[in-house]
């Protein structure tokens, strides 16, 4: 029952009359037909609620409940766009995300109402899904059918999802109905996904990963969907078995968290066929397949859609794959615009010519990048010289396989969240005991980054780890991923000739520096303690076990990256 269609709206319509199980959540189950009917009711409500002349944008601030895919489908039918609002954001930054995307309606639930307390959201109507008032509002539209608005075309905006750069506020990337429908259909074809499958969505749906790589192919292939409100490693296998899940997506450390759960003698007895995602790491992917009998396929796709890499048979260990059909991907030296030479490897897999082989990945061909919402400056930075610049560093072997090497700017990617260093610095700078602060990334032992901050205390002020931790807890806009894991207490901040903070020097030294370093051994803990030589030795063992020791800086500059 694979569906074809040039819009997401057509894919939603195709499920009308399909009485197979379509959506499961906790003790709830809806057929595909009921999902389409629920979407039709919400689309009709949306048409009546949106002010005339307003941008057709709906903010969705929800956990992974059935209301999320229902509103995605509703927006598609109405020719509207869903702005995924990140519930880990706080205060004015959260308000900014909602207002910037011109949302006139915000869909949320009672659990998230405290996040909205005191926020300035002028002209925005808030609908709270788990209330009697919401049920009463929907009731008159119960008989609506999934009719497509004339506004629902392939070019219609469908998603506005936030991605962060190195400075400033997050940018809202645009994804049209045509691109989302095509992405879903492409994954169905590439992975042979079909109507007999069940897609387990445990990654947050405000991320592009869950919507583009999990929900969209389920819709296109006629598969069922099973939702987990929030990711839970301990509940993962129970959910997979209970829902009969055959496919799931992941980002970042999710795979490591699952592997950290106790082994069971029957772990391989599960219906999963594959997982698709990024940043699992080759070591953990192998462990996952051995333990659960499930293959993980690593991929790469620019969040904005400008470049994609597909893993194909014969892809070497550590490589992501080759460029997707139609892309003209190249690894380029940003200074010269010349392509970098192929990578040269030692017998043990170390990259020997990193200085010349590593460059920025660009797409020289046609790109599906559709821009950022109301951000011409960011559009221009992404599209230069007629090329799409990913902002990511890669190297390429002699056969054209691509290997990820890092990021070009001051972005940090923590547990699959893109964070802006400048934003965190602005919060830390409020601490009255600090004279200067810089925030930068250090590699995570498994995937992505960890947050490190260098602070210079004011004259005569001694650094107090307790006072610093209490300060962090008191900041209403410090997101859950922003608190530094490492804090370097510097006597003076290194600066460039133009008196800017020399973040490159700080990154090169990382946590192996001459200044005292405090850290949280458990990333989720609030307390800091001194980082000792024993801590360093144990932590280096974690990097070594994951094949990521080569990403750490050495005492005389960066060590050459190795294939993970």
Give the residue among 528, 530, 526 at the shortest CA–CA distance from 517: 530
Q: How far is CA 153 from the centre of its chain?
A: 27
Sign of CA dihedral 190, 307, 311, 284: negative
Q: In the sheet where 21-25 sits, what is the strand order?
A: 28-31, 21-25, 224-227, 198-201, 247-251, 274-278, 295-298
Phi, psi of 383 (to 5 degrees): -110, 105
Burial (0-12, 13-18, 19+ Cβ within 10 Å), 326: exposed
The whole-number mean pLDDT for each consecutive block of 10 residues of the chain, a chain of 564 residues, reads 81 97 97 98 97 95 98 97 93 94 98 96 97 98 90 95 64 96 94 96 92 97 97 96 97 81 95 91 84 92 84 85 84 92 82 80 92 94 92 89 74 73 81 86 89 89 92 86 94 66 85 94 84 94 86 50 32
Distance CA 9, CA 105 (A): 20
CB 60 within 8 A of CB 129: no
Residue pointed to by tokens 């997707």: 324
CB 6 within 8 A of CB 13: no
Distance CA 68, CA 25 (A): 11
Cβ neighbours for 294, distance < 8 A, ≥ 6 positions apart: 270, 272, 273, 274, 275, 288
Distance CA 455, CA 516 (A): 11
Q: How far is CA 254 from the centre of its chain?
A: 12
CB 172 within 8 A of CB 100: yes
Distance CA 195, CA 224 (A): 7
Q: Is 555 helix (H, G, I), strand (E, B) or coil?
A: strand
pLDDT of residue 432: 84
Q: Which residues pair with 442 in a beta bridge?
A: 450
pLDDT of residue 557: 37
Structural domains for the chain: 8-177 (3.40.50.980), 300-407 (2.30.38.10), 412-558 (3.30.300.30)
Cβ neighbours for 559, distance < 8 A, ≥ 6 positions apart: 549, 550, 551, 552, 553
Q: Which residues pair with 198 in a beta bridge?
A: 224
Distance CA 85, CA 99 (A): 11
Distance CA 278, CA 209 (A): 9
pLDDT of residue 3: 66
Six-digit token string for 426: 């602005």
CB 342 within 8 A of CB 396: yes
Six-digit token string for 257: 């968290």
R_g of the chain, CA atoms, integer Å: 24
Torsion angle of C-alpha atoms 164, 169, 170, 172, degrees rounded to 10: -140
Angle, CA of 165, 360 and 384, to the nearest 5°: 70
pLDDT of residue 486: 96
Residue pointed to by tokens 């009546």: 48
CB 281 within 8 A of CB 448: no
Distance CA 409, CA 356 (A): 18
Q: Give Dmax (Cα) for the chain.
A: 73
Distance CA 283, CA 349 (A): 14
pLDDT of residue 562: 31
């Amino acid at each position: 029952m694979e569906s074809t269609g040039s819009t997401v709206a057509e894919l939603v319509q195709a499920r009308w009359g399909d009485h197979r199980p379509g959506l499961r959540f906790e003790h709830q189950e809806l057929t595909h037909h009921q999902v389409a009917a629920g979407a039709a009711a919400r689309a009709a409500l949306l048409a009546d609620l949106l002010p005339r002349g307003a941008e057709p944008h709906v903010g969705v601030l929800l956990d992974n409940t059935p209301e999320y895919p229902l509103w995605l489908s509703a927006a598609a039918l109405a020719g509207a766009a869903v702005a995924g609002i990140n519930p880990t954001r706080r205060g004015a930054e959260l308000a900014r995300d909602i207002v910037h995307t011109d949302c006139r309606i915000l869909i949320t639930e009672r659990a998230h109402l405290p996040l909205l307390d005191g926020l300035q959201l002028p002209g925005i109507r808030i609908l709270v899904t788990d209330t009697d008032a919401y049920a009463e509002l929907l009731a008159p539209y119960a008989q609506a059918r999934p009719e497509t608005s004339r506004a629902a075309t392939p070019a219609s905006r469908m998603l506005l999802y936030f991605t962060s750069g190195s400075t400033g506020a997050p940018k809202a990337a645009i994804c049209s109905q045509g691109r989302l429908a095509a992405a879903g259909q492409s994954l169905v074809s590439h992975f042979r996904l079909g109507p007999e499958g069940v897609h387990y969505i445990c990654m947050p749906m405000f991320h592009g990963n869950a919507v583009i790589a999990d929900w969209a192919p389920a819709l296109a292939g006629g598969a069922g969907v099973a939702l987990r409100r929030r990711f839970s490693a301990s509940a993962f296998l129970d959910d997979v078995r209970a829902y009969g899940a055959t496919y799931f997506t992941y980002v970042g450390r999710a795979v490591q968290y699952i592997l950290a759960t106790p082994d069971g003698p029957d772990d391989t007895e599960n219906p999963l066929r594959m997982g698709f995602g990024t940043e699992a790491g080759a070591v953990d992917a192998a462990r996952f397949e051995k333990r659960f009998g499930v293959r993980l396929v690593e991929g790469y796709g620019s969040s904005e859609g400008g470049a994609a890499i597909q893993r194909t048979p014969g892809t070497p260990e550590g490589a992501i794959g080759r460029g997707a059909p139609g892309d003209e991907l190249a690894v380029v030296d940003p200074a010269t615009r010349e392509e970098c030479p192929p990578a040269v490897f030692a017998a043990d897999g170390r990259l020997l010519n990193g200085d010349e082989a590593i460059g920025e990945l660009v797409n020289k061909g046609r790109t599906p990048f559709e821009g950022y919402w109301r951000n011409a400056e960011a559009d221009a930075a992404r599209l230069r010289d007629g090329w799409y610049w990913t902002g990511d560093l890669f190297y390429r072997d002699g056969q054209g396989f691509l290997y990820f090497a890092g990021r070009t700017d001051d972005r940090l990617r923590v547990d699959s969240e893109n964070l802006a260093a400048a934003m965190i610095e602005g919060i830390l700078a409020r601490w009255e005991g600090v004279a200067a602060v810089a925030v930068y990334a250090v590699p995570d032992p498994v995937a992505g980054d960890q947050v490190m901050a260098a602070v210079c205390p004011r004259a005569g002020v001694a650094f107090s780890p307790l006072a610093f931790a209490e300060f962090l807890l008191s900041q209403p806009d410090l997101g859950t991923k922003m608190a530094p894991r490492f804090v370097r207490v510097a006597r003076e901040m290194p600066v460039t000739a133009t008196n800017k903070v020399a973040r490159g020097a700080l990154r090169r030294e990382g946590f192996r520096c001459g200044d005292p370093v405090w850290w949280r051994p458990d990333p989720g803990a609030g307390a800091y303690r001194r980082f000792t030589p024993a801590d360093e030795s144990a932590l280096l063992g974690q990097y070594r076990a994951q094949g990521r020791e080569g990403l750490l800086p050495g005492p005389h500059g960066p060590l050459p990256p190795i294939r993970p």
